[in-house]
Amino acid sequence: MMKILMLNGPNLNRLGKREPGIYGVSTLKNLEERMINLGKERKMEVVCFQSNHEGELIDKLHEAEDTEIDGVIFNPGAFTHYSYAIRDAIAGITCPVIEVHISNVYQREEFRHKSVVAPVAKGQIAGLGILGYELALEAFKREAGKEEE
Ligand code: DQA
C-alpha cells in the first residue's frame, strides 16, 4: 500500500481561524481527516504532521526517507520563501515532494513570489485552496499507476 506523508509548516495549525478570507474556513483537523479518508478510498495510507518549527519539519523529511514513505505533500508555509535548510532536506532525500500552497502566492506580496523549495520539488500546486492537497494525492496515485502498467 502506498504511504503518503502530509506535512504542514508554520501557522497552518491555525487553519480555519487564520485569515479565513485567504486560507478558507476548514480547520487542519478537517483537512487531515479528509486526506486520511480520501487515502483510504484510493487504497493509500496518509499520515499527517504539522509543526511550527523548521528543525522538526526537516527531521520529518529525513524520517520519511528512512521509513520508506512513497511521497510527501508539503506546505512549508512561510519557510517556502527563505528556508535553504528545508530546501536542502528535500534535495537530500529521494522521496518525491509535492509543494502545496492554499493561496495563490503569485497574486500576493512580492516576498511570496519566490519559492526556494520549488526547484527541488516534484511539482507545485498553488491557489486552489485545500483542494490542492487532494490533487497532490491524486498525482501520487496516478504516478504509482503508471509504474504498475
Ligand atoms: C502558504 C503561503 C505562504 O506564503 C504563507 O506564509 C503560509 C501559507 C499557503 O498555503 O498559501 O503560511 O504556504
List of domains in the chain:
2-148 (3.40.50.9100)
Q: Cell match 479528509: residue? A: 34
E-strand ranges in 52-129 read 71-75, 97-101, 123-126
Q: What is the pLDDT along the chain (149 residues), one digit of tens a residue?
A: 999 999 999 999 999 999 999 999 999 999 999 999 999 999 999 999 999 999 999 999 999 999 989 999 999 999 999 999 999 999 999 999 999 999 999 999 999 999 999 999 999 999 999 999 999 999 999 988 876 65
**DSSP classification of residue 37:** H
3-class secondary structure, 21:
helix
Question: Is the distance from the beta carbon of residue 105 to the nearest atom of ligand 1 less than 6 Å?
Answer: yes
- The pTM score is 0.96
**DSSP classification of residue 129:** T
Burial class from Cβ neighbours inside 10 Å (0-12, 13-18, 19+) for residue 86 reads buried
Question: Is the distance from the beta carbon of residue 75 to the nearest atom of ligand 1 less than 6 Å?
Answer: yes
Q: Which atom of ligand 1 approaches the CA of 75 most closely?
A: 13
Are 20 and 46 spatial neighbours (Cβ–Cβ below 8 Å)?
A: no
Integer-rounded Cα radius of gyration of the chain: 14
